[in-house]
Amino acid sequence: MRIHFSPIFADGSLSLAREGDTLVIDGEAFDFSQLAEGHVLPRAAVSCAMVASDVTRQDGQIVLTLLLPHGSDAAEAIRFPAPVDLVEDGPVDAPGLTQPNEATTIGDIDWQQSYNPGAPVIPAEVSRFQARAALHIAGLLPSVEAALAAADPLAQIAWADAQVFRRDSPTIAALSAAIGMTEAQIDALFLAAAQIQA
């Protein structure tokens, strides 16, 4: 775990302890073990006023920045703190930190906000040509056309007349279910379709 500090002239103190991927900040435990490699947990997803940055996992370790309150007579090591690499569990000993108390509560993290900045963005829609071309290249066009023969008339009209196909459309959901495609397979098909040019 690597902690950077952002010094701030303010009343208060900061105590830290590490327990694996859990960081105890002023007696409140934040478990970052769910954070996957390369993913980002936005600062707003962690309900702790001392967290001053997004939380990331880089090369296997949790990386974040914390506010470090100090007074007007703080030593230079506190006003210009060096990052701290935590390799062992236990209380963190660094300039400007106080010793943690024993009482610990569970800190709140909104994991739904976690994202992978390197993940491809699934297009919301592709053109009719792109959709059909991607299905043809994947060898799925005959299966889709067979499913359409037994589909609802509205799906048949949409297939015949739509100029674009939206990823979230009921037609896509119905056809993909009919031919047994997973959500990941549909996403991959939309990514491939978006790359096709007429």
pLDDT tens per residue across span 108-136: 999 999 988 888 889 999 999 999 999 99
pLDDT tens per residue across span 59-102: 999 999 999 999 999 999 999 999 999 999 999 999 999 888 77
Residue ranges of domains in the chain: 2-113, 125-194
Residue 67: CB atoms within 10 Å: 19
Long-range contacts of the stretch 138-145 (C-beta < 8 A, 24+): 138/189, 138/192, 140/179, 140/181, 140/189, 143/179, 144/175, 144/179
To the nearest whole percent, how much of the chain has pLDDT over 70?
Answer: 99
Distances (CA, A) of 114 to 1, 19, 117, 123, 186: 18, 21, 10, 20, 22
Question: Which pLDDT does position 116 carry in this prediction?
Answer: 86
Question: Which pLDDT does position 120 carry in this prediction?
Answer: 84
pLDDT tens per residue across span 154-189: 889 999 999 999 999 988 998 899 999 999 999 999
pTM above 0.75, yes or no: no
Please determine, for residue 56, whether its predicted confidence score (pLDDT) is greater than 90: yes
Whether 84 and 18 have beta carbons less than 8 Å apart is answered as no
